[in-house]
Amino acid sequence: MQYQFENFILDIERFELRQNGQPLHCEPQVIKLLALLVTHHDRIVMKEEINEAIWGGRVVSDAALSSRIKLLRQLLGDDGRTQQYIRTIHKRGFRFVAKITLNHEDELKAHKTSNDSTLSTQQSTNENSSANKPAIVVLPFSDLSNESGNEYLADGISTDIISHISKHRWLDVVARNTAFGLRDKAVKISDIRAQLQVDYIVEGSVQRADNRVRITVSLINARNSHSVWTERFDREIKDIFVLQDEITEKIVARLEPEIGYAERNRVMRDHPTNLQAWDCFHMGVYHFYQFTGEDNKKAQHLLHQSCQINEHFGDAYAWWAYAIILGMVYWDTQPTQALLDQALTACDKSLSLDRRNATFYALRARVLLARGEYDLAIAENNMAISLNPTLAVAYCALGDSLAYVERYDESIAFFEKSIALSPNDPQLWAFYTYGALALIFKGDFKQSLDWIDKARRIPNYQYWTNAHRVVALVYLNRIDEAQQAAIKLQKDNSKFSLAFVKEKFFFLKEQKQIDLYLQGLSKAGIQ
């Protein structure tokens, strides 16, 4: 997505500002600030929003914000007196006031209008659909350091976890002040559950010694006091704030799928006879993650049923659309234009209910990618990441989108980011498999095979993983192995043929990518 004003072009996809066609060099925070102001040029951007977007909600001085605004104005040839581009709204925030020309303007305007028209009802509809959200409290981390004075690090990590996990909009997170009110109190888990009405508790500790720190974090099911997940991070301290950001990012990225896994299994175990929208949704997502054709059909049905039970449940619309897309790519759902249109409409519905939900943007990007609208898919994934920097699936989806426009190095970096963020993700096999396809297109067949082998060690990986393996082996001149792998592939999936692949590659636009893949399969004996 590109925004043009005067002789400047802000390229959101490339995270770049150009003047008269030449890239301008500036620090990332300044570009991020400009992107925030430009994408919300129709209104005042409050100081709190800027703080959240640029510093992740960390408390910073007004001077820090003022310095970034000053640097941005200098970059644009603006100043606090003329305010040609950035206008200061006294005691409130800032607004970008220059005239903007926007690529894909008609579509995005329509999308934004739809969002804005429902914004006034968003709060009430969200309240109606949030009754079953799992509630989570992040207790203040304990400081176990031998020396005093390290409490700020423990508090900072606890606060950042609260801030970041709140961006996963399907979770209901207890406010920091309430959670920190339990500091140093010997309270039983059952009492915390009763007092705060929570389903999950996050607790942890920080232990610092010289230039090293050990951080331990646990997720506890408050319903039964059982530990759901525990992990320890040992790090060397170089920059304490960089370390804090890294650890917090990884903790939150790993917490969210663990809670999702626990919720899905709880619903499937209880299997209520009188299904509510929340039950249908989690049962649908449960079947979605089984990654079989039959389960995909069940997922589509249950997610659609969830939409019908509660028309204000945005998660159900977005995940139904994603289930449809995976049904097209892997199984028997036919990729018709009408169904692709329905999937996009469902994503638009979800965003009309909550325009700050990062997952909705990431899933809409998946639909746009299937439609061959790569630029819009890249823009939506970037929006998802800006709203929730710990959303691993958005990094994977962005890597996918970039691969199809031949930006391979950028693509692989985003796949690596998704894997590092969420090594226990239910879609981890897909992170490796999609990355392996990007590496095949790039011509790096050795690394592709390495990623394929990692995907094959994960339960529920799919036949495309084995198909990529056949192609990679061919181009590594390991023809005998490729032929044996091809025989097994067709035995496991009797429909697999060159014609089948052409049909399933409906979302690819670069013919040379398709030809490279088909030639590899053909050399292995697949017809």
Q: How far is CA 241 from each of CA 144, 156, 237, 469, 517, rounded to the nearest angstrom?
A: 19, 9, 9, 41, 45
What letter does residue 495 receive in the DSSP assignment?
Answer: T
Q: How far apart are CA 271 and CA 286, in angstroms?
A: 12
In this prediction, residue 176 has a pLDDT band, given cuts at 50, 70 and 90, of confident
User: What pLDDT is attached to residue 91?
Assistant: 66
Q: Distance of CA 395 to CAs 34, 166, 426, 437, 442, Å?
A: 22, 19, 15, 16, 19
Q: What's the half-sphere exposure (Cβ side, CA atoms, 13 Å) at 446? A: 0
Q: What is the pLDDT of residue 261?
A: 84
pLDDT above 70 covers a percentage of the chain that reads 92
pLDDT above 50: residue 412: yes
Report yes or no: 315 and 291 within 8 Å, Cβ to Cβ: no
Angle, helices 428-442/445-456, rounded to nearest 10 degrees = 160
Extract the tokens encoding 103.
């690529």
pLDDT at residue 25, as a whole number: 81
- State both tokens at 476: 């590594």
pLDDT, average across residues 419-435: 93
CA angle 155, 161, 162 (to 5 degrees): 90
pLDDT 10s digits, 375-393: 999 999 999 999 999 999 9
Q: To the nearest 10°, the Cα dihedral for 191, 196, 198, 203?
A: -70
Range from 71-75, 316-320, 322-326, 493-497 carrying the lowest mean pLDDT:
71-75
Give the mean pLDDT of the chain.
87
Q: CA torsion, points 388, 232, 422, 161, in degrees to nearest 10?
A: -10
Strand 142-143 vs strand 2-5: parallel, antiparallel, or unpaired?
unpaired
User: Hey, is 91 helix, strand or coil?
Assistant: coil
Q: What is the pLDDT of residues 99-157, one digit of tens each?
A: 888 654 433 443 444 444 333 333 333 333 344 678 899 999 998 987 777 788 888 88
CATH topology assigned to domain 2-102: Arc Repressor Mutant, subunit A (1.10.10)
The predicted structure's pLDDT at residue 107: 39
Region 8-15 average pLDDT: 83
What integer is the mean pLDDT of 346-371?
95
pLDDT of 125 reads 37
- Here the tokens at position 251 are 């903790």
Amino acid code (one letter) for 314: G
pLDDT exceeds cutoff 80 at 37: yes
Tokens of 433: 């498999």
Could you tell me where the DSSP H helices lie in 289-391? 293-309, 314-330, 337-353, 358-370, 374-387
Q: What is the pLDDT of residues 251-288, one digit of tens each?
A: 998 888 888 888 888 878 776 555 688 889 999 999 99
> What superfamily in CATH does domain 135-267 come from?
ABC-type transport auxiliary lipoprotein component (3.40.50.10610)
Of the candidates 490, 449, 425, the one whose C-alpha atom is nearest the C-alpha of residue 291 is: 425
Q: Using alpha carbons only, give the angle 346, 349, 350 rounded to the nearest 5 degrees.
A: 90
What are the residue ranges spanned by the domains of the chain?
2-102, 135-267
> Are 483 and 453 contacting, i.e. CB atoms less than 8 angstroms apart?
no
The pLDDT score that the predictor gives to residue 117 is 37
* pLDDT greater than 90 at residue 40: no
- pLDDT for 268 equals 80
Run of H or E including 17: strand 16-19
pLDDT digit string (tens) for 60-71? 677 888 888 989
pLDDT digits (tens, 9 = 90+) for 401-411: 999 999 999 99
Residue 191 tokens, joined: 């009492």
Q: Is residue 274 packed enough to be buried (19+ CB in 10 Å), middle (13-18) or exposed (0-12)?
A: exposed
- Long-range contacts of range 450-453, CB-CB < 8 Å, 24 or more positions apart? none
pLDDT in tens, 224-246: 899 988 999 898 887 777 788 88
Identical topology for domains 2-102 and 135-267: no
Q: Are 17 and 34 in contact (CB under 8 A)?
A: yes
Instruction: Give tens-digit pLDDT for 326-353.
Output: 999 999 999 999 999 999 999 999 999 9
Q: At residue 249, does pLDDT exceed 70?
A: yes
